[in-house]
């Protein structure tokens, strides 16, 4: 459903971008690509699971922003970004206190989302066609991991103040339509997590050395529509 919605939005914005009846005040950007979480694997992760956790550091991400330019070179708006990563491991077992051992698989499905107000800037070339873009945003950073370990269904959630910064370059394809590439960073730290295991919730405040670092770098390609 998300893919169909983004495709419909892309086609609509493309048709608007080719129209000659709109002033160049509003910019809508759609970007997506590779994301990598920068935090190191915790020392308390067992050696058998370190590679599994490392693979969860990489995933795909997409970014949507809308900015209203009060001047040609700077504007204000809103930004939404989502990062997703998942992994599966087979032949995992749980051993209960009575000695019973149950074998199955382990899987994690992680989503990290950011939304917040944004300040945007752009620096055009001499022909005022291509431009360098940059933006900074502060807002809500949410974390969710839907996990299962053999028979245990575990949902882990948390939230924090987050920040995002991006910089890229954009090439004009049509009068109000640009293709671009950008690098960006998202940062934030969780100091509290809520764990729900088989329907039972528990909220835990994390110690300094246990806090969850959600820092990430992204490399993206996408399009900007000047409406």
Tell me the mean pLDDT in the region 147-159.
Answer: 93
Burial group, residue 93, by CB count within 10 angstroms (0-12, 13-18, 19+):
exposed
User: Among the ranges 5-19, 72-86, 91-105, 195-209, which has the highest mean pLDDT value?
Assistant: 72-86
Q: What is the mean pLDDT of the chain?
A: 89
Tell me the mean pLDDT in the region 136-149.
Answer: 96
Q: What would the DSSP string read from start to end of 34-101?
A: EEEE-SPPPTTS-GGGHHHHHHTTEEEEEEEEEEEEEETTEEEEEEEEEEEEEEEEEEEEEE-TTS-E
Cα separation, 135 vs 165, whole angstroms:
6
- Whether residue 209 has pLDDT greater than 90: no
Cα separation, 24 vs 216, whole angstroms:
32
pLDDT tens string 105-125: 999 999 999 999 999 999 999
pLDDT at 2: 47
pLDDT at 76: 96
pLDDT at 72: 87
pLDDT at 147: 95
Q: Which of 89, 161, 97, 174 is nearest to 129 (CA)?
A: 174
Cα separation, 21 vs 44, whole angstroms:
60
- At 21, is the pLDDT very low, low, confident or very high (cuts 50, 70, 90)? very low
Residues 6+ apart with CB under 8 A from 42: 53
Q: Tell me the three state secondary structure of residue 150.
A: coil
Q: Tell me the three state secondary structure of residue 2.
A: helix
Both tokens assigned to 9? 């939005």
Cα 197-88-152 angle, rounded to 5 deg: 20
CB atoms within 10 A of CB 31: 23
pLDDT tens string 33-72: 999 999 999 888 888 889 999 999 999 999 999 999 998 8
Cα 112-114-119 angle, rounded to 5 deg: 155
Tell me the mean pLDDT in the region 75-103.
Answer: 89
Tell me the mean pLDDT in the region 19-24.
Answer: 48
pTM score, two decimals? 0.86
Tell me the mean pLDDT in the region 163-192.
Answer: 96
- At 164, is the pLDDT very low, low, confident or very high (cuts 50, 70, 90)? very high
pLDDT at 91: 86
- At 102, is the pLDDT very low, low, confident or very high (cuts 50, 70, 90)? confident
pLDDT at 210: 86
- Whether residue 17 has pLDDT greater than 70: no
pLDDT at 93: 80
Tell me the mean pLDDT in the region 74-79.
Answer: 96
């Amino acid at each position: 459903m998300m893919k169909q919605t983004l495709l419909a939005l892309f086609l609509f914005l493309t048709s608007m971008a080719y129209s000659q009846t709109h002033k160049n005040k509003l910019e809508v950007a759609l970007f997506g690509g590779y994301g990598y979480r920068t935090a190191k694997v915790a020392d308390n992760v067992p050696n058998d699971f370190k590679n599994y956790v490392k693979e969860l550091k990489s995933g795909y991400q997409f970014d949507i922003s809308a900015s209203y330019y009060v001047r040609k070179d700077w504007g204000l708006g809103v930004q939404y970004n989502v990062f997703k990563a998942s992994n599966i491991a087979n032949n995992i077992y749980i051993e209960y206190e009575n000695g019973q051992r149950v074998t199955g698989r382990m899987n994690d499905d992680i989503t990290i989302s950011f939304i917040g107000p944004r300040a945007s800037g752009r620096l055009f070339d001499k022909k005022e066609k291509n431009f360098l873009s940059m933006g900074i945003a502060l807002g809500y950073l949410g974390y969710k991991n839907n996990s299962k370990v053999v028979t245990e269904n575990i949902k882990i959630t948390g939230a924090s103040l987050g920040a995002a910064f991006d910089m890229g370059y954009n090439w004009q394809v049509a009068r109000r339509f640009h293709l671009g590439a950008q690098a960006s960073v998202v940062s934030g730290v969780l100091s509290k997590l809520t764990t729900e295991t088989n329907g039972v919730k528990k909220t835990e405040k994390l110690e300094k050395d246990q806090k969850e670092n959600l820092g990430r770098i992204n490399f993206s390609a996408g399009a900007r529509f000047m409406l």
